[in-house]
Amino acid sequence: MLDQTTTPVLSVKNLKIQATSYPPGEKPKDITIVEDVSFTVQRGKVLGLIGESGAGKSTIGLTSMAFGRGGVRITGGEILVNGRDILKDSQSQLRSLRGQDVTYVSQSAAASFNPSKRLMDQVIEATLRHGILSKNEAKTRAIELFRKLGLPSPETIGDRYPHQVSGGQLQRVMTAMALCPKPSLVVFDEPTTALDVTTQIDVLKAIKEAIRETGVAALYITHDLAVVAQVSDDIMVLRHGKMVEYGATSQIITAPAQAYTQDLVNIRSELHSEKQENGTPILKIENVTARYKSVPINVLKDISVTLEAGHTLAVVGESGSGKSTLARAITGLLPPIAGQISFNDQPLPPAMQDRSKDELRDLQMIFQMADVAMNPRQTVGQIIGRPLTFYFGLRGSARKARIRELLDQIEMGRGFEDRYPAELSGGQKQRVCIARALAAKPKLIICDEVTSALDPLVADGILRLLLDLQAQENVAYLFITHDLATVRAIADKIAVMHKGKIVRYGPKSQVLTPPFDDYTDLLLSSVPEMRLGWLEEVIANAKMQAAGN
């Protein structure tokens, strides 16, 4: 029998993970996803795994449960959980490992709960199946965990179905589900990535306190270094399935040794300083109110903002604040029921079908999901060339030359005209969408969460490109986002939206300087900062405020 107090909860040595890819028309071949990764997690400690998408961090997290998603195989190395080599486990041993020794919290709580079973049944299922507690004991423990995690009405929330609670609550219920069987290790796989900042902070707080109180060890997987810095003792930086840097959190944050880690740490800097108002408004929105036919509630309430030529107005808010609806009202997809939108000092017809071709051309859009915003059966050349023919009647060699020019502008260069969207990376796809919008020579581009689906360094590149293009073409941006770091990086003016209203509006320097209104204060204080102890400060402040009230 191994000594339980000194044996690491999880010890991974020289891990190698492979998958088989099936390229069309060729022989199947093995590709290596993770190579030569080693780490240990001691009892009660938290290790953060950080990296961009495709870095292999989720894959590594799941191997601690000897699970490979979609045909992924562990082909080398050793994984010891409490000193036992789980790669040699039988199927029934693995079942008792999963949900008992090691539990899992996934990114999308909404998808990870069975829609047709009550929350309580799902939370205590593993505890009961592994015979850890009796049904009543398990329920009591679950309710206690619900309370610890700050869930409303902990006694009864378990009787609800997944669709009856909010995303942030569901994420905390899932954390309770992971902690209920008293595991020695919990794998948190991007548990807050899908949440709004103000919700994220509640969940982070709950997770951190739960880890501390239960003394469980954890693997915390995320792409957000500022988040992982708040909860973990050690951090491992991964890239392309290989270890870049591994050390104590304080060392990684304050003295990163590798260039890649340094880039990650320095990412949230201001790229652009605010421009002065020049008195030439390109877009003027006056008292706009809008609603959808199906719901009798105004989604936009009396919105008034102005955007000047060649400037950037950032519209910030959480999901449901109405910021995307504002974009729909401007583009004419959702004609407002009151108020007026003027473009270049001319009133714009409310509905898109009443606008002239030039009015349509002047106003272009870029979307969050570059993937689905392009026809997968068209080549990059066709995608960019379409507005050239539609708006300017360009054909043949003139069109080809202009496509080349645009590709140069988005820094992609030659050889991309004949490629299909599926052959591009996420950042390249978004660049093509930018080129398509630019092809119409617009005066205003509405950017709807254009960097939200991208990895931090790639998003950084897209923001820099947008700023360069603005300087060259004098195009104005209406930049819709939930990410305050992005806003800080590129905006000239900021409008903060909450529940369909603008709660704060003005030049960037003014909006981001105190005194703040309550909502902006909450929003700003919820953005994780890249330093140690930030979360503790926020928790302490919240407690002090609560005591003061």
Question: Where does this chain bind another protein (CB under 8 A)?
Answer: 62, 65, 67, 69, 94-100, 103-104, 106, 108, 111-117, 125-126, 129-130, 160-161, 163-164
C-beta of 20 vs 114, nearer to another protein: 114
Token pair for 285 = 């929105």
Cα torsion at 374, 313, 538, 531 (round to 10°)? 70
Residue 472 CB: number of other CB atoms within 10 A?
Answer: 10
Query: Positive or negative, the Cα torsion across 334, 168, 503, 369?
Result: negative
Is 313:508 a contact under the CB 8 Å cutoff? no
Token pair for 341 = 């939108």
Phi, psi of 140, rounded to the nearest 5 degrees: -60, -45
C-beta of 18 vs 64, nearer to another protein: 64
Starting at the edge strand found earlier in the chain, the sheet holding 84-85 runs 29-41, 10-21, 73-81, 84-85
Closest distance of CB 66 from another protein, Å: 10
Closest distance of CB 174 from another protein, Å: 8
Closest distance of CB 124 from another protein, Å: 10
Closest distance of CB 318 from another protein, Å: 19
Closest distance of CB 163 from another protein, Å: 5
Is 298:304 a contact under the CB 8 Å cutoff? no
Radius of gyration of the chain (CA): 26
Phi, psi of 152, rounded to the nearest 5 degrees: -70, 150
Using CA atoms, how far apart are residues 67 and 87, in angstroms rounded to an integer? 10
Closest distance of CB 175 from another protein, Å: 13
Q: Residue 305: which residues within 8 A CB-CB, separation 6 or more? A: 283, 285, 313, 315, 493, 495, 502, 505
CA separation (Å) from 304 to 92, 134, 312? Answer: 63, 59, 16
Is 103:181 a contact under the CB 8 Å cutoff? yes
Closest distance of CB 86 from another protein, Å: 12
Closest distance of CB 84 from another protein, Å: 15
Using CA atoms, how far apart are residues 145 and 152, in angstroms rounded to an integer? 12
Token pair for 129 = 């199946």
C-beta of 64 vs 331, nearer to another protein: 64
Closest distance of CB 126 from another protein, Å: 4
C-beta of 161 vs 292, nearer to another protein: 161
C-beta of 121 vs 517, nearer to another protein: 121
Using CA atoms, how far apart are residues 12 and 10, in angstroms rounded to an integer? 7
C-beta of 94 vs 539, nearer to another protein: 94
Closest distance of CB 62 from another protein, Å: 8
Token pair for 71 = 């045909």
C-beta of 162 vs 256, nearer to another protein: 162
C-beta of 170 vs 373, nearer to another protein: 170
C-beta of 55 vs 124, nearer to another protein: 124
C-beta of 191 vs 427, nearer to another protein: 191
Is 420:376 a contact under the CB 8 Å cutoff? yes
Q: Which residue has the tokens 């998003």?
A: 459
